[in-house]
Structure 1
């Protein structure tokens, strides 16, 4: 009996609710799946919850975080936040593609999805209650979307993000989104995060990003860090041993959540 009580009580403590919702994207004329993780006391609290948008990497899906890092559900309880994991397509890089008019993930995430989440759930529906982060392609996407839409997100993070796409101009389906670099150089220069720092105002966004020193994106992250320093943009940058893998990201997300929690509480 005592053992049963302990098991039951433990399950109740971490009793976050996981929804899968479909959102119709008018900009892409299709229905898109998203996971929404609600904290354990969501249904009993008459308050608004901050929201973390947690993207996914190239060739990944909206189920990656919940399947590869199940503790993400416990983090929603611990920090009393709603976590939204959108499907960003196979290799969308979260652009509105200037080449393929059917690829509009910037519009989807920053307008269509956010509007749906704010209508359906009890959210803090202003930038002070909204953050975005992820890894690799999603790390690029988080900074890309936050830099371009500083009125929507108050904080942004990146883990092993692809901050300079120009060095990988033949990889991950990028030519299908931006065209060949030799023929569409302007699109590449305009849409790579390291060239978007000029959009930032000094206190417009709270920023955190990190990268493992054995990661192929490490050099670009260091260069972005240097550029932010040169422009006097406050940010947290962390480098630590690690490669481009889930072992690194499952550790990294813990530190980013502390950062976002401090932001939401401030």
Structure 2
């Protein structure tokens, strides 16, 4: 859940977060149809159609970036990082574009790497510097 959870919790409860640093985050579903596939993939084939849209609107990070109040999103400092060979790369890129289109401040990093502990260990020093800077701003 790591990176995806960082997005979900900080977007739904920005009052509890000073910074959020999703690394290699799952950012979907990108459409209601993808939400449907998510339920099927998890073996929940008898879920009513209504829940697909509810799931999309609650967990689609790009949807949330485009629809939540801008001030709520901006109240969190964002650092997004994903490897160029990570299978979740497209989602992080879509979120970055959505944030850029709304002029929401954030840091976005793409480095050589994949979805692995090696990649995340290399990211942690910069992530911790970013979080630490946020504590010194007041």
TM-score range, shorter chain: 0.7 to 0.9
Say whether residues 1:159 and 2:30 are aligned partners.
Answer: no
For residues 166-201 of structure 1, give each alpha carbon's deviation from its aligned partner in whole angstroms, at most 9, with x where no partner exists: 558448x7566xx85966321221122221112242
* Counterpart for residue 7 of structure 2: 143
Name the CA distance, whole Å, in 2 between partners of 1:229 and 1:147.
Answer: 16
1:8-157 correspondence runs (5 A): 137-157=1-21
Q: Which has the higher contact order (CA 8 A, sep 6+)?
A: 2
Q: Which has the higher helix share?
A: 2
Q: TM-score, normalised by structure 1?
A: 0.44
Assess, with a 3 A threshold, how the Cα gap between structure 1 residues 157 and 182 changes in structure 2: closer, same or farther: same
RMSD (Å), alpha carbons = 2.4
Unaligned residue ranges in structure 2 (runs of 5+): none
Name the CA distance, whole Å, in 1 between partners of 2:43 and 2:49.
Answer: 10
Q: TM-score, normalised by structure 2?
A: 0.80
Count of aligned residue pairs for this structure pair:
127
Assess, with a 3 A threshold, how the Cα gap between structure 1 residues 189 and 251 changes in structure 2: closer, same or farther: same
For residues 39-64 of structure 1, give each alpha carbon's deviation from its aligned partner in whole angstroms, at most 9, with x where no partner exists: xxxxxxxxxxxxxxxxxxxxxxxxxx
Say whether residues 1:189 and 2:56 are aligned partners.
Answer: yes
Q: Which has the higher strand share?
A: 1
> Computing the radius of gyration over CA atoms, which structure comes out larger, 1 or 2?
1
